[in-house]
Structure formats: structure tokens, C-alpha cells
Amino acid sequence: MLYLVRMDVSLPHDMPAAQAEDIKAREKAYAQDLQRQGKWQQLYRVVGEYANYSVFDVESNETLHTLLSGLPLFPYMKIAVTPLAPHPSSIR
């Protein structure tokens, strides 16, 4: 199943820089591993925001929830999920 996911990140302003950098490094490694597995198919930055749009291809809602809640930045995110289906007019 395909999902379009918007993730908005809001780190606490008083979070120590070293802690923020550690979380971001773990987030990058986790995201890149999911991309290599083919589960996180596309990742786009939202210009001017600490946010992204991503396309996930996973088996179920539960699988997506597990992947997203495993993100190191998850506690600092607002996430919106839109399930996707093929459009009948698409040539792909």
C-alpha cells in the first residue's frame, strides 16, 4: 500500500545542540535504511520549513505506524498520513 506522509519537526528550543545532532544522525541512518529496503520510496524537503513529504510502500497501516513511531524524531513530529490508490486516468 502506498502512503503520502507529511512530517513537520519541532525540536524544543532548549534542547542541547549535541542531543539534537545525535537524534538527527540516528534519524538519517534509520531513514536511509528504510529507503534501501524499498519501504521509504521517496523523500522531499519542504522548502523553507523543517518538514518533508514522503512516499512509503508498506503492507499495512500497522506497518506504517510501526515504522513512523520508530523514527528518532517521532516525539517531535506532527505527522499527516494520506493513503494512496492508483488513479484510473494514470498512464503508469
At a CB cut-off of 8 Å and minimum separation 6, what does 77 contact?
Answer: 7, 8, 9, 10, 71
Whether 27 is covered by a domain: the verdict is yes
Range 31-51 average pLDDT: 98
Residues 6+ apart with CB under 8 A from 78: 7, 8, 10
Q: What pLDDT digit, counting tens, does each position of 43-72 carry?
A: 999 999 999 999 999 999 999 999 999 999
Q: Is residue 71 part of a domain?
A: yes
For the chain, the domain total comes to 1
CATH of the domain at 56: 3.30.70.1060
Query: Which of these, 84, 83, 78, lies nearest to 7 by C-alpha position?
Result: 78
Whether the predicted pLDDT of 27 surpasses 90: yes
Identity of the amino acid at 10: S
Assess if residue 91 is contained within a domain.
Answer: no
Domain range for 48: 2-84
